Amino acid sequence: MQFVARVIAEFLGTFWLTFAGCGSAVIAAAYPGLGIGFVGVALAFGLTVVTMAYAVGHISGAHFNPAITLGLWCGGRTSTLNVIPYILSQVAGAVAAAAVLKIVAEGQPGFELGSFASNGFGDLSPGHYNLVSCAIIEALLTFFFVLVVMGATSAGAPAGFAPLAIGLTLTLILLVAIPVTNGSVNPARSTGPAIFAGSAYIEQLWFFWAVPIFGAVLAGLVGRGLFRKP
């Protein structure tokens, strides 16, 4: 029963991250004359992590991200038995959230799906950054994201502040990454919107799985020797 609760918590957390985070980009940032801009979108993503980490972090650890799950596994912070179920529930949560967001967004007359808050490199990058630039951004930022997660939840870290540190880190990451890749560092978050945005974005999904996971695994290995387990 406890295992089921953990899987449900990961589904709900990833759903909230994708729906509210991508929703801020698709709905609020695009609202004529009152758009929140990419600063607002970055803050929205950070707030999704803070709120759900406090809500369900005590149940599942609040990964909400396959890269974090794999990074923490490499760092010895999560059981092997959690890895596949967590990743499947995270992807399911992201896809479900994107589907609901699409229904809501299409309720506005004249709405055009466009990129649908998807991630991309080259021609699909918001700033048309090339593959190398996008790879550096996604790998490096995911590395530091996982490192912060491990450090903030380590023995000796200030108690009760981990969700704030992790949420603010995601906000900072997106302030840098949105112009480059539209800010992924999360394969599940990339997968949900891409499914509805079309084949061009689906064809680039391999990148937004492989590169963040590479950065996360490296961080997990570094963090294993750097931080004490909680």
Domain count, the chain: 1
Please state the rounded mean pLDDT for residues 114-126: 96
Burial annotation 102-118 (CB, 10 A radius, 16+ → b, else e): beebeeeeeeeeebbbb
Torsion of CA 25, 27, 32, 37, to 10 degrees: -20
> How far apart, in Å, are the Cα atoms of 17 and each of 78, 103, 156?
21, 17, 28
pLDDT in tens, 48-104: 999 999 999 999 999 999 999 999 999 999 999 999 999 999 999 999 999 999 999
Q: What is the pTM of this model?
A: 0.96
Query: What CATH number is associated with residue 81?
Result: 1.20.1080.10
Contact residues for 161 (Cβ-Cβ < 8 A; gap 6+): 152
Q: Which domain holds residue 53?
A: 2-226
Predicted pLDDT at 202: 98
* 196, 113 Cβ separation under 8 angstroms: yes
218: confidence class by pLDDT, cuts 50, 70, 90: very high
- Block residue for tokens 């790998």: 139
Please state the rounded mean pLDDT for residues 181-205: 97
Of 169, 42, 187, nearest to 119 (Cα)? 187
